[in-house]
Structure 1
Amino acid sequence: MEHAAQDTDISAQFRSICIFGAGAIGGALAARLAASPALAGSTVSAIARGAHLQAIRKNGLHLHEPDKTGPLIARFAATDTAADLPPQDLVIVTLKGHQLTSASADIARLLKPDGRVVMIQNGIPWWYFHGDTASGLEGRQIEALDPGGLIWQRIGPERVIGGVIYQGAQMIEPGHIRLTSGGLLHLGEPSGGLSPALTKIAGLFEASGWAIKTTGRIRDELWLKLLGNAALNPISALTRARIGEIVDGPLEPLVRTIMIETKTVAERLGCHVESTIDQRLEHTRTLGSAKTSMLQDLEQGRLMEIMPLTRAITQLARMADVPTPANDMLLLLISQLDQSMAQARADKA
């Protein structure tokens, strides 16, 4: 009876939930939320696009999970037009950093006046210095991540709950997502408080099958994951190598140097990165032959996520007066590759 009462409370708190960006991670979140008995009284919807959207509409979203005999098949409202949906109690955004500016007006329109937005993103987020009392830079905005401050103005950093997810996920075909390793989601208020809203949203994710950790230091978790992403993503795109090939080959010293520089920036800004560099490298080795998200984007002709994973580190390093020569060189190289790929796409058009 106690569990049933808890489920009813969760459903009452979140009558309407939208996942904005139902790709691999977003689709997995949407599927589990839509299938959760705890949310039987709520409406779950998603913003998707292209063939993936059509497949979800026709046959539902098939989520293939480890050690399960068959997929979880979830059905929920899906659209590529945010205006099709009413205002939401909760919007969960899983877009990449460079996609946020163009989507920010739609995200803002989807939120009820008292609605909250969970931003699950790799790298340094646009809201990073909101409520940050440790760095001495509280309230600063990062132009490269939020040109013209449009996201800050439209959504408002006070609405944000930050998210850092460890979950291997791949879209194997439209409407089908496979989960691999991981499954842990860290959630935290940018201001550091363990608010009632944070507790309720954590309960929502837990009720739909996710392992959750709430934290008063979400920036620590951002930097911990960024140690790997800062090095592996651009190096993999430049070399077309998989993770294991990078950390177990001649590029390992470069990976180590980039991690050291990144950790130094984090600590100068008042964050505590729990893992040592050796521990982080050892964790990275467990990922084996996996491809980074940046390499996958490159192979599929999509824009690469350079701003939050690479350029933002160099910008925050300047603010913190930390030299980052390896990160600076990596930024030059990956930016040139990005320009070359953009030119190639333009020549084909």
Structure 2
Amino acid sequence: MKICIIGGGGAIGGYLAVMLAKAGNDVTVVARGETLKAIQNKGLQLILEGESKPLVAHVKAVDRISAVQETPEVVMLAVKAHQVEPIVDDLANLMGPETVLIPMQNGIPWWYFQRLNSQHQDHAVETVDPAGSIMSKINPANILGCVVYPATIAQSPGVIEHVEGNRFPIGELDGSISERAQRISQMMAEAGFKSPILEDIRAEIWLKLWGNMTFNPISALTHEHLEGICRFPLTKDLARNMMTEAQTIAQKLGVTFRVDIERRIAGAEKVGKHKTSMLQDLEAGNNLEIDALLGSVIELGQITDTPTPCLSTVFALTKLLNTRVQSSQGRLALPMAA
């Protein structure tokens, strides 16, 4: 297939690009700066879990969406949620009527209420899509939902380290099992991923979000890895309380969780001494993905008249931290405990 990966030099985008290219797909990545140069000169390098020698894929690499030469069959949007709106016009122009768009943002996506049989159908999630500008420019019929589970790290420009996991569940926004979803699932399987088709992709979004909205900001505030957060009683209790508030919101929206809170926390602990993506961003001085991961959940709490004292407190603290880092153009990093 002809695949374009926007953010293809990043941790998840690069992982996908190498594996899909190695499986014989025609892959173009959109990247910037030193990452773009590295990909053009040396190819994309992927160090798989447990391997020392990297896989190298020589993919097409361009610096902007408008430079992509052909209309892709599949577009994978592997950028942060706050990076979508600035590129939405170019994204809309890139896609053809049959192009499948697979957004891979963490948190509540802009399309959450689109093609949903609900009293909130087509409601804009203002936190991630102010004034509904993304909704107005991207046809929801092109979108195939996806939840990203692998843990990866961008070691250096053009070099990605795969930590663990290979699951990318997908699902149509209306819950149908479509022919195109089957094609994408097969394509992902041939590249070495597990990509089952789900009839309720939103429930899977909440399951992943349960961890992201808690462990990401807690890790940024404490500079602790997942194992440490889950083993320290006070932060474990905080995570549990945040998850309980979110579960109440989700259930009011008709979502059923297939695992309980304790099992979700245990799963995070098993990942071990892994820095969350938000902690990695904090240490690099990048803008934190706090609105999509936590602000959006608080917004849905307001829609459903659900109190969110723990979520709102952690949100406020992390927003202030992010403001401080961005205004100082600095980075924060503490040595990890042994």
For residues 158-203 of structure 1, the C-alpha deviation after alignment (integer angstroms, 9 at most, x for no partner) is 2111110211111111121111211111001111111111111111
Q: Quick check: 2:286–2:326 contact (8 Å CA) kept in 1?
A: no
Partner of 2:3: 17
Partner of 2:19: 32
For residues 124-175 of structure 1, the C-alpha deviation after alignment (integer angstroms, 9 at most, x for no partner) is 0000001122x42111111221122221122222211111021111111112
Partner of 2:135: 152
Deviation at 1:328, TM superposition (A): 1.1
Aligned length: 327
- CA–CA separation in structure 1 for the residues paired with 2:282 and 2:61: 27
Deviation at 1:69, TM superposition (A): 5.4
Partner of 1:66: 49
Deviation at 1:46, TM superposition (A): 0.5
Deviation at 1:105, TM superposition (A): 1.4
Which of 138, 148, 163 matches 1:165? 148
Which of 79, 83, 99 matches 1:95? 79
Partner of 1:272: 256
Query: Structure 1 pair 69/327, CA: closer, same or farther in 2 (3 Å)?
Result: closer
- CA–CA separation in structure 2 for the residues paired with 1:141 and 1:279: 32
For residues 247-303 of structure 1, the C-alpha deviation after alignment (integer angstroms, 9 at most, x for no partner) is 111311111100111111111100111111110111011122111111111111110
Partner of 2:304: 320
Q: Quick check: 2:4–2:30 contact (8 Å CA) kept in 1?
A: yes
- CA–CA separation in structure 2 for the residues paired with 1:175 and 1:27: 8
Query: Structure 1 pair 69/335, CA: closer, same or farther in 2 (3 Å)?
Result: closer
* Equivalent AA in structure 2 for residue 61 of structure 1: L
Question: 1:197 aligned to 2:180?
Answer: yes
Question: 1:248 aligned to 2:235?
Answer: no
For residues 297-319 of structure 1, the C-alpha deviation after alignment (integer angstroms, 9 at most, x for no partner) is 11111100011101001000111
* Equivalent AA in structure 1 for residue 274 of structure 2: A
For residues 301-346 of structure 1, the C-alpha deviation after alignment (integer angstroms, 9 at most, x for no partner) is 1100011101001000111121111001111111111222222129
Which of 98, 101, 105 matches 1:114? 98
- CA–CA separation in structure 1 for the residues paired with 2:219 and 2:53: 33
User: Which residues in structure 2 correspond to 1:123-162 (within 5 Å)?
Assistant: 123-133=107-117, 135-162=118-145
- CA–CA separation in structure 2 for the residues paired with 1:94 and 1:156: 18
Partner of 1:178: 161
SS of corresponding position for 1:262:
helix
Identity of aligned residues (%): 35
Partner of 1:239: 222
Question: 1:287 aligned to 2:274?
Answer: no
SS of corresponding position for 2:16:
helix
Give the structure-1-normalised TM-score: 0.91
Question: 1:55 aligned to 2:55?
Answer: no
- CA–CA separation in structure 2 for the residues paired with 1:148 and 1:236: 31
- CA–CA separation in structure 2 for the residues paired with 1:67 and 1:293: 21
- CA–CA separation in structure 1 for the residues paired with 2:161 and 2:261: 30
Partner of 1:187: 170
- CA–CA separation in structure 2 for the residues paired with 1:200 and 1:231: 34
Q: Quick check: 1:131–1:192 contact (8 Å CA) kept in 2?
A: no
Deviation at 1:232, TM superposition (A): 0.7
Partner of 1:104: 88
Which blocks of at least 5 consecutive residues in structure 1 are unaligned? 1-13
Q: Quick check: 2:124–2:131 contact (8 Å CA) kept in 1?
A: no
SS of corresponding position for 1:124:
coil
Q: Quick check: 1:61–1:176 contact (8 Å CA) kept in 2?
A: yes
Off by >2 Å, runs of 4+ in structure 1 = 66-70
- CA–CA separation in structure 2 for the residues paired with 1:112 and 1:126: 20
- CA–CA separation in structure 1 for the residues paired with 2:167 and 2:97: 30
* Equivalent AA in structure 1 for residue 78 of structure 2: T
SS of corresponding position for 1:251:
helix
SS of corresponding position for 1:87:
coil
Which blocks of at least 5 consecutive residues in structure 2 are unaligned? 331-338
* Equivalent AA in structure 2 for residue 21 of structure 1: G
* Equivalent AA in structure 2 for residue 84 of structure 1: A
Deviation at 1:106, TM superposition (A): 1.7
- CA–CA separation in structure 2 for the residues paired with 1:33 and 1:106: 23
SS of corresponding position for 1:280:
helix
